[in-house]
């Protein structure tokens, strides 16, 4: 069926011991992927709140301005993280 994960994990561990650069890049990738995942979830939540806020009666303009500002801020942070990761990997 599938591969046994123990030999793969031990092989990866051996490779990381042999090449410190691989370990550094793997750690950078792991950190980047978690940051992107966190920011993506925050962006999805903010967009969902924008949709919900647009159905509220009353002062929609103030609410939508706040929500769109929140979405733009998260989008900027996501772009900055991606650019920083690309610079590090280059």
Per-residue pLDDT of 42-59, as tens digits, reads 888 888 877 776 666 665
Assign 24 a pLDDT band (cuts: 50, 70, 90). Answer: confident
- Has residue 16 got a pLDDT over 50? yes
Q: Are 39 and 81 in contact (CB under 8 A)?
A: yes
> Is-above-0.85 flag for pTM?
no
Tell me the helices (H) and strands (E) count for the chain, helix number first: 3, 0
Give the pair of three-digit tokens for residue 46: 């903010």
Range of 51's domain? 5-89
45 versus 2: which is more confidently predicted? Answer: 45
SS3 70: helix
Domain count, the chain: 1
17 versus 40: which is more confidently predicted? Answer: 40
88 versus 18: which is more confidently predicted? Answer: 88
* Cα 14 to Cα 5, 9, 21, 43, 82, distances in angstroms: 14, 9, 13, 38, 29
pLDDT of residue 1: 46
- Over the chain, what is the mean pLDDT? 76
């Amino acid at each position: 069926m599938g591969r046994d994960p123990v030999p793969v994990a031990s092989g990866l561990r051996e490779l990381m011991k042999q090449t410190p650069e691989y370990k550094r890049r793997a750690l950078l990738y792991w950190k980047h992927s978690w940051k992107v995942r966190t920011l993506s979830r925050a962006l999805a939540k903010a967009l969902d709140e924008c949709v919900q806020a647009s159905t509220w009666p009353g002062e929609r303009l103030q609410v939508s301005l706040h929500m769109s500002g929140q979405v733009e801020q998260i989008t900027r942070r996501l772009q900055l993280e991606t650019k920083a990761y690309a610079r590090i990997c280059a």
